[in-house]
Amino acid sequence: MPQGLCLKVGNIVGVAKGLAAELGQYGIRVNCVSPFAVVGTGMSSEISEAEKSQAEDAISNLVGNLKGQILKAEDVARAALYLASDEANYISGLNLLVDGGYSVVNPNMVNIFSAFMG
């Protein structure tokens, strides 16, 4: 992960935790979601279906922890929806990692998050 991106992720998590601490007294919950790689969201240049399939296979088989599973944009949306729902009414200040366990098995990722989140 490029260093600039790590700084941005750490900053977002820090802002979410700071806001959760300050806004909790008003009953406002603040959380964030940190997904692993999602291919073909339309947020970047368009890629062909073959390229998308190739990228998903590489992520799933080479770096992903949950073999055979591919993170979809809908999975990230479901995580965000859960945090916004009444079922999560006592959850605040959480950075929900939607990474299929990648950060648990990749010590470099854990070290990066630890360095930037204290």
Residue pLDDT, tens place only, 63-104: 667 777 888 889 999 999 999 999 999 999 999 999 888 888
Residue type present at position 37: A
How far apart are the C-alpha atoms of 21 and 14, rounded to whole Å?
11
Confidence of residue 36 (pLDDT cuts 50, 70, 90): confident
Q: How is domain 3-108 classified at the CATH fold level?
A: Rossmann fold (3.40.50)
Angle value at C-alpha 63, between 53 and 71, nearest 5 degrees: 50
**Domain parsing of the chain, residue ranges:** 3-108
What pLDDT score does 115 carry? Answer: 56
Burial of residue 38, with CB atoms counted within 10 A of its CB: 0-12 exposed, 13-18 middle, 19 or more buried: middle
The pTM of this model reads 0.71
Confidence of residue 1 (pLDDT cuts 50, 70, 90): very low
Angle formed by the axes of helices 107-117 and 3-23, nearest 10°: 50
